[in-house]
Structure 1
Amino acid sequence: MTIARLPAAKWSFSAMAAGVLLVGCSASVGVGNSEPKLSADELATTVSEKLALTTGQPKPDIACPEDLVGKVGTTTHCTLTADDGSTLGVSVNVTSVDGEQINFDIKADETASPAPN
């Protein structure tokens, strides 16, 4: 059975229909004596899983440009890319840090960018 993925425009519509898609998440990472950090790949996987869980849709393709430092107020902007090439921004904001646990909110942008021609 094949499950079609929603284009980014559909993800945007879903986010707007629900008001604002805001999901609280957390991730644990191993650290030495420095601030905890979540790699860009681990962050993308976590964001994808949480968005799928929240929307009831298949896991979207997410890419994050940088590691997420476990410091309250730190933000990064990941990108959801749909099968048709359209994109939707996804903001990640660190809300708290408890030891090695980084807690963050995820918020999808309200509008998608069309696929490049």
Structure 2
Amino acid sequence: MPKSFSSFATWGLAAAAAGALLVGCSSEAKMPKDKVADTVAEKLAAQTGQPKPDVTCPEDLVGKVGTSMRCKLTASDGSSLGVTVKVTSVDGDKINYDIKADQ
């Protein structure tokens, strides 16, 4: 199935616009990978008006400034792209991070 440029553009713009997300995590300042993926997917769906994409992340997000990981977004049409999640700050048990989809 060909990848839809409009899907990539929509998700890419939404991810760039998502900015910092403030989300709760454990007292160890670590967020489970499934929660990161779900939060990213919900934010992108809300911003684009598109169905919630399938987002998977390889590991838990460690609450250390500068830490980043690559997640994979799969849109409803089957197209996929990478999403970078990067920790920008940590406040107690809150991890603040930016998301950015590949172009």
TM range (shorter): 0.7 to 0.9
2 CA distance for matches of 1:107 and 1:9?
A: 17
Q: 1:26 aligns with which of 22, 29, 36?
A: 22
1:12 aligned partner? 8
Deviations 1:28-51 (A, max 9, x none): 1122xxx41000101000000111
Larger proportion of helix: 2
Q: How does 1:21-60 map to 2 (within 5 A)?
A: 21-23=16-18, 24-31=20-27, 35-60=28-53
Computed over aligned residues only, the root mean square deviation of the Cα atoms, in angstroms, reads 2.1
Task: Show the counterpart of 1:91.
Answer: 84
Aligned identity (percent) is: 52
Q: 2-side partners of 1:8 and 1:107: how far apart?
A: 18
TM-score, normalisation: structure 1: 0.75
Deviation digits for residues 90-113 of structure 1 (CA, Å, limit 9, x no counterpart): 110001000000000011100xxx
Alignment: residue pair count:
100
Query: Does residue 69 of the first structure (1) align with residue 65 of the second (2)?
Result: no
Which structure 1 residue ranges, 4+ long, deviate > 6 Å from structure 2?
A: none
Unmatched runs of 5 consecutive residues or more in structure 2: none
Q: What TM-score comes out, normalization by structure 2 length?
A: 0.84
* CA shift in 2, pair 1:30/1:20, >3 Å: closer
